Structures are given as C-alpha cells and as structure tokens.
Structure 1
Amino acid sequence: MSAVASYRALLRTVGPAYVLVAFLGRIPLAMSQLGALVMVSEVSGRYALGGAAAGSLAIANAVGAPIAGMLADRIGQRPVVLVQSLVGAAGLAALVAVTTPTAPAWLIVTVAAATGLMLPQVGPLARVRWRPITAQDRPGPSDQRRLIDAAFSYEGAADEASFVLGPALIGVLGVLLDPAGAVLAAAVILAVFGTWFGIHPTAQLVAKAASVVEDGRLWSVAFGVLIVAQFFVGTLFGSIQTGSTVLATAAGQAGLAGLIHACLGIGSVIAGLSITALPERFLYSTRMLAAATALFLFAIPLWWVDSLGALVAVISVLGFAVAPYMISNFALAGIIVPITKVGTAMTFLAAATGLGYATGAGIAGRLADAGGHQPAFGVTIAAAWGALLLAIIANSTLRRARVVS
C-alpha cells in the first residue's frame, strides 16, 4: 500500500470531518501559552507577569496531561475530554476576566495555572484512537502497519501545523480584535471542537478495544527512554524559540520571531507527511536514530548564525528532522505500552515535551542575557546531541522492546 493510498484509506475509514475536528481541537492549546503571555503583558504592562502567567499555564498543563491520560484509559476519553474542553474554555474566559491593570499578580497566575491544568491534550489522545480505528475493517497485519504509520505521520504533521497556526492566530486576532479577544476565540474553539472531539464515535472504539485486552505495566526501560527523548526535543523547541527571539530583537525585527520559528514547523510538517513512504523493514528504533543524527547535524550550523536570513535557512532545514524523530517516539510508545495504558503514555510524552520546552527556554534565556543568541542556540545543539547520544545508547533496547505485561 502506497503512502497516498494509506492516507486515502484513513480518510475513508473516519471521514474528513473527524480529521478536521481532531486538528482544530488541538489549536487552543497551541494558542493558550502565547495568548496568555501577550494579553497579560499588555494589560498589566509587566512582561515578567506575562511570562509567569504563560509559564504557570504550560507547567500546569504538563502536570495535568498524564493525569487526564490515566483517567481516559480508566473511564474512557469521552467524559474526560468533554469536562476538560468545557472547563478549559471557561478557564480561558476567566483568565481574560481577571486580567486587569489592577488585578493582583497571584490571582492572574493562579487562574492561568488552573486553566492549564484542564486544557485537553487532543493530539496525544487522537493518536490513541488510530489503532482501533484502523482495525475496524480487519486489514492484514502489513496493511494495518502501513495505515498506523500513515496515521502517526499525519498526527506528527498535525501537531507541528497546530503549533505554527496557533501562535499565528493569536497574532492575527490580536491585531483584528485585541489580545483578550484572541484568548476568547481560543476558548470558543475549544468549547466547540474539543467537545465535538469528545463526543465523536471514535472515542468509544478506544474504550471497546481496551475492554478486551488484558491490563499491563506502563513503565519500562524503553518507555523511560522515550520520555527522556521527548524532553530533549522539547528543550530544542524552547531554546530555538528563545534564540530566534533574541536574534530578531537584536536585528530590530522582534515581531518576526514567531514567523521565523514557524519555519521549523513547515519543514517538520512536510517530513511528517512523507515518512509513511518508508519501507516497513526500516524499524522505528532505526528511524529514531536516523532522525536524531539529522537533528544534531542540522543543528550545528546554528552556532555560526548571525543574520535572520541565515537563521531562516538553518531552521527550515532542521525542521525536516523534527517530525520523524517525534513520530518514531510516539509510534514506539504505541508498540511497547499495553493498549489499556496508551492514553497515559501519549500524554506523558506530551508532558515531557512541555517540560523540556520550559527548561530549554529558561536556560537559553539566562544564557542569552549574558551572551546573546549564540549561547542560546548552544542549548539547542546540546539538546540535539543529547537526543543522538540517547538514541545510540538505547537503540538495542528499543529494538527488543515489547509490551510489558
């Protein structure tokens, strides 16, 4: 089955409406952090408070994601996603309401954290649905493997696209409306499409598949490797965004930082959609190692970047290694974790990425204060080296990994 045929088969199975809903349902999470940062900073006149609100939202979401994943595995995705979508949307609206020039900082940060805790991880939960979805028509093992490859390739591309489109929507709506209006728009999108994703019939397929499979253990050495791997790629994201912002600001083009960072996502989307064309004999562990090698090699030139044009060129190329690396990690998790724990596993990986992002941005920011964009990009290179070293050391472990009962 060719890559194009695989994507067509997926669309025939679930219909284009589900693909659209699952994509739009993850946009509010991508909008929330930047939306909080811009809105709180502008209203309060304090960038430090804006950063604190955005940071608390991101960290709380990283903490809450695995908890929501565990609940989804136990009681089903439908009730968890419905509650998170409605309460998360209300939280975004509440954050707008409490963000006033005279509001105490603790109140804004607390509401931001409570909101982040409830925002659903639609992307990881959508990944969980594909295995039972592709099993509906009882395809042969080879065809199902190709369909799952296509599904995970699409999900990786969709995640990257959402983290390009989300911040872009905040920028556009912030101009057309204002930052508060942009955050309210995120709340509306979440209430509509998050709820729709929750009630979609595919949510019940996950519950049925889990009910007929014996329970098993989540944690293993291989799964721990994947957690660390996602932490490294999150660190790479955070440090790149920080370094790009520093260089763009130094060049007098601070407003271009978001668009420059989006170049990383464009290459990643293209690579993510293409990876399903790889032959089945190219194992996920091998793909992870190859992608980690590319991450490191493509990141090295960042050390010598000193102009926005050069930065765009290097980041665009680096993006082609990002999606293959992440897709391999999530696909491996789907293989080595029992189906009754896959929701938990996917949200743990998402949480590790978020914590890595916060770590990378924090370390790169401190180094940038002292030495500009170059040491910030040094964090990016170090994260890519860590990803490569981990892939080399753990390759044989991941090759042998099977579901732990």
Structure 2
Amino acid sequence: MHNSQPAPTLIERTGVAYFPLALVARLPFAMMVVGVLTLVVSARDSLQLGGISSAVVGIGSAIVGPFIGAAADRYGQRVALLIAAVTHSAALVALAFIAYSSSPDWAMLAVAFTVGATSPQTSPMSRSRLVLIIQNFLPPARRPKVMSQVLAYESAADEVVFVFGPVIVGVLATFFGPRTPILAAAALTILFIIAFAMHHTSAPAKSVAERAATLAPAAELARPSLLVVVAGIAGVGLVFGSTLTALTAFMQDLGKPEAAGLFYGIMGIGSAILAISVSFFSPKFTLRYRWLVFGVFVVAGEALLATASSTGQIALGLAITGIGIGPLLVTLYGLGTARSPEGRSATVMTMLGSGVILGQSLSSAVGGTIAENVGVAAALALPFLAAAFTMLAGVVNWLLTPSGSGRDV
C-alpha cells in the first residue's frame, strides 16, 4: 500500500454503511417462514396447516426467486428489488389479515405463496454485488483472498439472521401478538429493502449489446457441476428446517416449546463463528475436500440429535452440527461463485438462496406432520437423513470434479 496509487479496497467501493444495511435488509426474509408458521398456527389452530403454509412460502420463493435474480442480471438490481419490496409488503399485510378472516384455507395458502414469490432476494443480491465489485475493481492478486473473506462474511451474516430472525418472531409474537412479526417484516421490507435497492452499489442494468456479450446462455445453468451445488445447499436447508421442527417438538414434550429458539441458537452461534474463520484456511484445503470434511461434522452432530434423550445431548449434537454447517454453507457458495456462467451471478446466487429456503420450508412442513402424527423420535431422525443427503451430494461433487480439472477449486 506504499505505492503512490494505493489499490482500491472493497470498503472504499461500497462505503461503510453498506454492510449494516445489507444485514438488516435480510431480516424480513429470515422472519418470513417462521412468522407465517406462528401466524397460521395461532389464527387457524393447526400445526399441520401452519407447516403447510410455511412450506408454500418456501416453494413460492424457490420457484420465483431465480427469476427475480435473472431480472436483476438483465434489468439491474434496483428495478427488480423495488418491485419485489412493494409487492412483498402488500402480500405480508394481506396475509396478516386473511389468516384471521373466515376465508377458506386455500385462499390463505394462495396469499402465502405470493409472500414467498415476491420475497426480495437480499442475500443473493448482496453476494452478487460484492462478487462483481471484487472481479471488476480489485487488483487480480488480491481477489481470491477478498472473495474468500466476503463469502465467509456473507454466510456468517445469513447465519446470524437465520438464527435471530426466528428469535425476533418469537419475542414479537409473545409480547405483541402473532400478527406483529408479519407486519414488522412488511415495515422492514419497505424501509430497508428500498434503501438497499437505492444504494449506489446496486448492480446497473445492461444494454442489449452488453447482455449479448456478457450473458452466458441460460442452458449453462443446468450443468451437473452447478446443479450438484444447488442440491447440496438444499440439503443444508433441509438440515435447518428439520432441526428446528424436531427441536420444537422435543421441547414441547418437555413443556418448554419457547426454549427451542434458544437451543437452535447453539448451532447458529458456533456456525457463524466458524463461517468467518473459513477465510483463514489454506488454499490447499480445496472446496471439494471442505464439503466432505464439514459434512462429517453435520452428520455426526445430527446422529447425536437423532438418539438424544436429554437436553444436554441435544445441546452437544447442535454444537457439533454448528461446527460443520457454517463452513459448509461458505464452501457451497464458493463453489457456486466459481461455477457461475458469465453474467449470471445474481441468478446463480438466487438459485442457491432458494435452495436453502425450499429445503428449510419443506422439511419444516414434513417434520411438523411427522412430529404430530408419528412422534418426536421420528422427527428427531429427519435431520440425520438431511445431513446424509448433503454428504451424498458432496460425494457426487467429488466424482464430478476430478483433481487437476481446474474445477476442484
């Protein structure tokens, strides 16, 4: 940095305010699935319908999310985010009122789908912005290290928000009623997503000529080496959702359902700390190795959870799962970034983000149904199956990326 022209840094390009803004702008997304579950269970008095509603939110987000990402790659993030923010807030407010109305369940589920479909994809958009800034403005020698740090930070930010989102929902619902978390998410969306959309880092629209030159064909999004990463990250979502549901069922049996969020925090805190540490790993510890190594921790932790008979064993299982899950998320986002077709960064990031939310919401619905109809022991076994699926995807990835192929990043 002693030369006359100091190399630009990422913070100089983004401004200091960018990171807290992008962090708070993620909160509505993290509150959405649990907020809908809480609202519907309270309004319609059915855990099963609550689980189905939150699954429908996740499915809406997973189906439409990548199209919002594709729109951002094509027309710029600002317009895509502004339209999403306004429609999402309106859908949340509508849901808060239709849930308590005499409308049939299918009408409420249709609104729940709209809530998911319009959800602003803050995390993927933020990742995509930072990746583009690093690729376009930083000196080539500094790019790999900064990229690793940014992906680690972004995953840690997601972790923090995914752990505290449900906690905030719990606090607001307990003190101010079940409708409050959804209305709070609507208000946060209008305030912070619009501010995030208007921030100067917002990826600009491309002209038709630029798009033709820099947009890889959509068919490249279906490459097996990219789809296996989407499968792996959906597996992480399955782990999140099934763990939270199993935990809630276990604590409900003990007569302490509100303690589930606190225990879930054990996994999240370790996970966030370890996610940040990923940027210090040696480059020799390649991403395909990391997937398998951290996958082992997740499988081991969830195996403990599946056989748990005490809260102590639950806490230990969650702590071990946390050691693996944070770095595993960073690894999967790293692979997704490395394998993104040119000009499709926001699309790939939304595919990955949608994979997490789809896995989370589907496993919440299935877990809730199994806990209610089969029992807690069966629900506790689901996170182990989800972890095994994630590990299997890691093995497939290993086979798809032979060493020295240049794709074993």
TM-score w.r.t. the length of structure 1 is 0.90
Residue 186 (str. 1) matches residue 188 (str. 2): no
Cα distance change, pair 108–193 in 1 and its aligned pair in 2 (3 A)? same
CA-to-aligned-CA distance 1:332-364 (integer Å, 9 cap, x gap): 111111231121111112222222223433443
Which residue does the alignment assign to 2:95? 95
Partner-residue secondary structure (3-state), 1:204: coil
Q: Give the match for residue 375 of structure 1.
A: 378
C-alpha distance in 1 between matches for 2:43 and 2:302: 37
User: Hey, what does 2:336 align to over in structure 1?
Assistant: 333
Structure 1 residue 367: deviation in Å?
4.1
**1:20-72, Cα deviation, whole Å (9 max, x unpaired):** 11111110011112222222332333444433332222221111111111111
- Whole-angstrom CA distance in 2 between matches of 1:318 and 1:348: 24
* Aligned partners of 2:51 and 2:366 also within 8 Å: no
1:274 to 2:273 alignment: no
**Is residue 252 of structure 2 the alignment partner of residue 252 of structure 1?**
no
Aligned CA-pair RMSD = 2.5
Deviation at 1:210, TM superposition (A): 6.8
* AA partner of residue 194 (structure 1): I
Q: Which moved more, 1:180-189 or 1:9-18?
A: 9-18
| 2:308 alignment counterpart | 305
CA distance change for structure 1 residues 270 and 85 in 2, over 3 Å: closer, same or farther? same
Whether the aligned pair in 2 keeps the contact of 1:235 and 1:356 (CA below 8 Å) is yes
Q: Tell me, in whole angstroms, the C-alpha distance in 2 between the residues paired with 1:233 and 1:112.
A: 23
Look up the equivalent residue of 1:258 and give its one-letter code: G
Taking structure 2 as the reference length, what is the TM-score of the superposition?
Answer: 0.89
CA deviation profile, 1:88-125 (whole Å, cap 9, x unmatched): 11111121232324333232222121121101111111
Which SS does the other structure have where 1:16 is aligned?
coil
User: Residue 202 of structure 1 corresponds to which residue in structure 2?
Assistant: 201
Name the counterpart of 1:4.
none
In structure 2, do the counterparts of structure 1 residues 369 and 111 end up closer, same or farther at CA, with 3 Å as the change threshold?
closer
The residue identity in structure 1 corresponding to 2:73 is: D
Number of aligned residue pairs: give it. 396
1:22 and 1:210, CA in 2 relative to 1: closer, same or farther beyond 3 A? Answer: farther
Letter in 1 for 2:247: S
Choose 293-302 or 211-220, whichever is displaced more.
Answer: 211-220
Q: Alignment partner for residue 242 of structure 2, among 236, 239, 259?
A: 239
Cα offset for 1:136? 5.1
Percent identity reads 27
Kept in 2: contact 1:44–1:101 (CA 8 A): no
Gaps of 5+ in 1: 2-7
Q: In 2 relative to 1, CA 277–64 (structure 1 residues): closer, same or farther, beyond 3 Å?
A: same
Structure 1: how far apart are the matches of 2:198 and 2:183? 23
Q: Which has the higher helix share?
A: 1
- Structure-to-structure mapping, 1:319-398, within 5 angstroms: 319-369=322-372, 372-398=375-401
Indicate the residue corresponding to 2:81 in structure 1.
81
Residue 12 of structure 1: how far off its partner (Å): 4.3
Check 1:313–1:11 CA distance in 2 against 1; reply closer, same or farther (3 A cut): farther
- Is residue 13–residue 134 contact of structure 1 (8 Å, CA) maintained in 2? no
CA distance in 1, matches of 2:23, 2:211: 24
The one-letter code of the counterpart of 1:76 is G
CA contact (8 A) 1:230 1:329 kept: yes
Kindly report structure 1 stretches of 4+ aligned residues shifted beyond 4 Å.
205-212, 399-403
Provide, for residues 180-209 of structure 1, a one-character-per-residue CA deviation record: whole Å limited to 9, x for no partner: 222111111111111111111212368599
